[in-house]
């Protein structure tokens, strides 16, 4: 059975060099000399600048392509998604992204891709979308809980140390019945094999991931990429 892998990033590093360590880690996990990698910028409205940034970052190291949903997805949507070695989901508005994916069946194709062994990964919206639920600013800066795809169990919160409201709001939501789960600081990547955490890595000194429950939070063991 293919290894179903997801890399959930809390956010990028503080510097380009730190973030480059995360991108190299992702490519090491893919494990191919020049893998096929699809960028999915739905959460940023298919932003041209976001797409250009992705190609600037990865085109010298991967066979890069991207998926547009405006004005509509390509005819061979399934073929595009399932022909990849890795799929990168952008940050942005998670709620809008999931609504568009559901309308066009992209959510179902991403599950098929994951179950066939294609690596799924991303930061922020590209982190939380894979879980049962996530903490999002899709509805405004107050932060809210959002039902997500459910590939991975529990909930997730990105930018745990990067945005002032993230930690207290996540604890507030969990205390009120929101699913317990995982929080990741900026610069931290949590790699899953199936539903289980396989490894946690960090490109920032002191950055970590945490198990958040109604009893509190527990820092999880991680490896520094620095």
Q: Which residues are catalytic?
A: 124, 159
| SS3 at position 22 | helix
Residues 6+ apart with CB under 8 A from 78: 109, 112
Q: In the chain, what are the helix, strand and coil shares in percent, each to the nearest 5?
A: 30, 30, 40
What DSSP element (H or E) covers 183? strand 181-184
The CA distances from residue 214 to 76, 157, 158, 166, 209, in Å, are 45, 15, 18, 16, 16
**Angle (deg, nearest 10), helices 106-115 and 94-104:** 90
The number of beta carbons lying within 10 Å of the beta carbon of residue 176 is 9
Distance CA 66, CA 214 (A): 39
First-to-final CA distance of the chain: 33
């Amino acid at each position: 059975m293919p290894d179903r892998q997801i890399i959930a990033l809390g956010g990028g590093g503080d510097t380009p060099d730190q973030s480059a360590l995360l991108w190299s880690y992702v490519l090491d996990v893919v494990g191919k000399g020049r893998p096929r990698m699809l960028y999915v910028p739905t959460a940023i409205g298919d932003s041209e600048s976001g797409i250009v940034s992705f190609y600037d970052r990865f085109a010298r190291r991967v066979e890069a392509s991207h998926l547009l949903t405006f004005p509509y997805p390509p005819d061979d949507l399934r073929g595009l998604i399932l022909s990849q070695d890795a799929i990168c989901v952008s940050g942005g508005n998670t709620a809008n992204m999931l609504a568009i994916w559901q309308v066009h069946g992209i959510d179902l194709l991403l599950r098929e891709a994951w179950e066939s062994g294609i690596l799924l990964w991303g930061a922020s919206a590209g982190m939380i979308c894979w879980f049962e639920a996530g903490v999002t600013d899709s509805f405004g800066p107050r932060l809210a809980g959002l039902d997500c795809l459910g590939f991975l169990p529990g909930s997730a919160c990105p930018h745990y140390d990067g945005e002032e409201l993230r930690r207290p709001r996540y604890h507030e939501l969990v205390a009120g019945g929101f699913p317990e789960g995982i929080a990741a600081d900026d610069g931290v990547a949590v790699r899953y094999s199936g539903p289980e955490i396989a490894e946690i890595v960090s490109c920032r000194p002191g950055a970590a991931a945490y198990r958040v429950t109604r009893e509190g939070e527990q820092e999880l063991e991680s490896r520094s990429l620095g």
